[in-house]
């Protein structure tokens, strides 16, 4: 028998201590200020760059961990410090991941360094996917990309919504539809270089939480980029489009044959087949969800630890309030959920890193439970502190505001349940 262990490696323990120290000594002291200012915390980003926490090398090391846990550990600790600043630091990684997913080695070498800048002049990057009419439904993108063969340029037109670092980014990675009739199969990703004409940001969005992270709509008005800015190159895109057309034609023929057959039974089989196709399409998103879950877990843990310490010091009716069952049991429930959710995140992260199939939607499970834990844990923390928790004199108020987005972005709780339901039933649940 092989041994089973959840013990972290020496490198992972050192990573956790390193990031925790930065979160404790640099992030937390600055959290309230940047939340109030609602501005990108450039001085904190620069400090992170100076110690090597913000940059391509550190991100590559986190992704390189064969267990898949290092990225989750770093996110939990950083967001334990503050979620707004954490997102300001990790928002760039979304664009970098987009370049890695589709780019050639030459494109990686050219664009990834420009996403981060350097310690003297740090930069951020933006990953532009969501649109006003296409949030959870990424197959419905309206942003278009057409190829101008005479000039070897791609022309992008459309609007992106709720984009982290939108407009202030040095590099924007834009997902657009090349062949709209093919849905998600007809989409491609493009790099929009710094200073490109036609890309403009709308007004900065004033948010409930994550206020230190810049969010804005991005408008693409006939934006022209060189042909080399198509991630993966045109030959690869042409091959992919050709295969997608063949598959679409095959699906259409199968549907026509079923329609001329015996009725209900073929229709049911077709519906189930569509469900499986949708599940396969969602697999890419599943891999990134444990990291989002780790961020939510960091918020929940921070709120729990603050409430636990407060309850041990706050006295009412002649004793510490933690000695009351209602308070102690609430804290016990939160701690139990924290331990459970961390294991779920680690399992999903390990599966994603090692190519294991999410046969029960484990990636969505981790994000779903972590997001809802962040909301419930911060709400209970505010309740335990009472009136003090409702004031800005204590950080649980900010944590409470920051937590809510984790049941909304990167797939709402309802979408996560839909993904899980389709995975476990094999049916196209609506």
Report whether pLDDT(265) > 90: no
Report whether pLDDT(278) > 70: no
Pairing between β-strand 215-226 and β-strand 153-164 as defined by DSSP bridges: antiparallel
User: In the structure, what pLDDT confidence band is assigned to residue 331 with cuts at 50, 70 and 90?
Assistant: very high
CB count, 10 Å around CB of 276?
14
User: In the structure, what pLDDT confidence band is assigned to residue 10 with cuts at 50, 70 and 90?
Assistant: very high
Which of 134-138, 150-154, 281-285 has the least mean pLDDT?
Answer: 281-285
- Rounded Cα distance, 166 and 163, in Å: 5
Q: For 47, how many CA atoms within 13 A lie in the half-sphere containing its CB? A: 14
Report whether pLDDT(279) > 80: no
User: What is the pLDDT at residue 254?
Assistant: 73
**Of the listed 33, 179, 410, 414, which one is catalytic?**
410
Contact (CB, 8 A) for 144 and 157: yes
SS (H, E, C) 345-407: HHHHHHHHHCCCCCCCCHHHHHHHHHHHHHHHHHHHHHHHHHHHHHCCCCCHHHHHHHHHHHH
User: What is the pLDDT at residue 1?
Assistant: 47
Report whether pLDDT(249) > 90: no
CB count, 10 Å around CB of 346?
21
User: In the structure, what pLDDT confidence band is assigned to residue 273 with cuts at 50, 70 and 90?
Assistant: very low
> Is 410 one of the annotated active-site residues of the chain?
yes
Contact (CB, 8 A) for 127 and 201: no
User: In the structure, what pLDDT confidence band is assigned to residue 380 with cuts at 50, 70 and 90?
Assistant: very high
What stretches of 215-350 adopt beta strand conformation (E)? 215-226, 315-316, 319-320
What is the rounded average pLDDT for all residues in the chain? 91
- Rounded Cα distance, 259 and 169, in Å: 50
Q: Model pTM?
A: 0.91
Report whether pLDDT(362) > 60: yes
Q: For 44, how many CA atoms within 13 A lie in the half-sphere containing its CB? A: 29
User: What is the pLDDT at residue 282?
Assistant: 42
Nearest to residue 139, comparing CAs of 282, 250, 235, 276?
282
- Rounded Cα distance, 54 and 120, in Å: 12
User: What is the pLDDT at residue 399?
Assistant: 98
Domains of the chain from N-terminus onward: 10-122 (1.10.540.10), 126-233 (2.40.110.10), 281-425 (1.20.140.10)
pLDDT digits (tens, 9 = 90+) for 87-146: 999 999 999 989 998 999 999 999 999 999 999 999 999 999 999 987 766 778 999 999
User: What is the pLDDT at residue 43?
Assistant: 98
User: What is the pLDDT at residue 287?
Assistant: 66
Q: How confident is the model over 168-178, as a mean pLDDT?
A: 97
CB count, 10 Å around CB of 181?
10
> Which tops the pLDDT comparison, 268 or 410?
410
- Rounded Cα distance, 87 and 174, in Å: 19
User: What is the pLDDT at residue 283?
Assistant: 44
CB count, 10 Å around CB of 100?
16
Share of the chain above pLDDT 70, in %: 91
Report whether pLDDT(15) > 90: yes
Report whether pLDDT(73) > 90: yes
Pairing between β-strand 187-192 and β-strand 144-148 as defined by DSSP bridges: unpaired
How far CA 56 is from CA of 48, 190, 346, 419, in Å, comes to 12, 20, 23, 32
Contact (CB, 8 A) for 92 and 165: yes
User: What is the pLDDT at residue 333?
Assistant: 98
User: In the structure, what pLDDT confidence band is assigned to residue 197 with cuts at 50, 70 and 90?
Assistant: very high
User: In the structure, what pLDDT confidence band is assigned to residue 257 with cuts at 50, 70 and 90?
Assistant: low
DSSP 7: P
Q: What residues does 148 pair with on adjacent strands?
A: 153
pLDDT digits (tens, 9 = 90+) for 59-71: 999 999 999 999 9
Helix, strand, or coil here: 20? helix
Q: How confident is the model over 378-401, as a mean pLDDT?
A: 98
């Amino acid at each position: 028998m092989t041994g089973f262990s959840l013990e972290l490696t020496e490198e992972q323990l050192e990573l956790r201590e390193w990031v925790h120290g930065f979160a404790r000594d640099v992030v937390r002291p600055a959290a309230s200020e940047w939340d109030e200012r609602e501005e990108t915390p450039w001085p904190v980003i620069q400090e992170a760059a100076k110690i090597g926490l913000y940059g391509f090398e550190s991100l590559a090391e986190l992704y390189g961990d064969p267990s898949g846990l290092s990225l989750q550990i770093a996110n939990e600790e950083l967001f334990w410090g503050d979620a707004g600043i954490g997102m300001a630091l990790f928002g760039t990684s979304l664009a970098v991941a987009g370049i890695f997913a589709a780019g050639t080695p030459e494109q990686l070498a050219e664009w990834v360094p420009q996403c981060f800048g350097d310690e003297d002049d740090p930069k951020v990057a933006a990953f532009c996917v969501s649109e006003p009419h296409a949030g959870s439904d990424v197959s419905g993108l309206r942003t278009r990309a057409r190829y101008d063969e005479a000039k070897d340029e791609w022309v992008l037109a459309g609007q992106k919504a709720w984009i982290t670092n939108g407009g202030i980014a040095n590099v924007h990675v834009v997902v657009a539809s090349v062949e709209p009739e093919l849905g998600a199969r007809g989409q491609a990703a493009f790099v929009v270089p710094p200073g490109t004409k036609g890309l403009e940001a709308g007004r900065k969005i004033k948010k409930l939480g994550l206020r230190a992270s810049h969010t804005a709509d991005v408008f693409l008005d006939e934006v022209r980029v060189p042909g080399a800015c198509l991630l993966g190159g045109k030959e690869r895109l042409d091959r992919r489009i050709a295969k997608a057309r063949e598959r679409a034609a095959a699906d259409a023929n199968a549907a026509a044959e079923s329609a001329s057959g015996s009725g209900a039974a073929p229709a049911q089989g077709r519906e189930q087949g569509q469900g499986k196709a949708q599940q396969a399409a969602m697999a890419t998103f599943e891999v990134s969800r444990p990291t989002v879950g780790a961020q939510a877990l960091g918020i929940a843990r921070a709120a729990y630890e603050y409430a636990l310490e407060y309850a041990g010091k706050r006295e009412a009716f002649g004793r510490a309030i933690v000695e009351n069952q209602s308070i102690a049991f609430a804290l016990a429930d939160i701690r139990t959920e924290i331990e459970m959710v961390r294991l779920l995140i680690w399992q999903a992260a390990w599966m994603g890193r090692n190519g294991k199939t999410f046969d029960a939607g484990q990636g969505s499970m981790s994000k779903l439970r972590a997001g809802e834990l962040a909301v419930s844990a911060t709400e209970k923390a505010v309740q335990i502190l009472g009136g003090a928790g409702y004031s800005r004199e204590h950080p649980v108020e900010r944590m409470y505001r920051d937590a809510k987005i984790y049941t909304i972005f990167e797939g709402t709780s309802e979408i996560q349940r839909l993904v899980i339901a389709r995975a476990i039933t094999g049916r196209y649940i609506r």
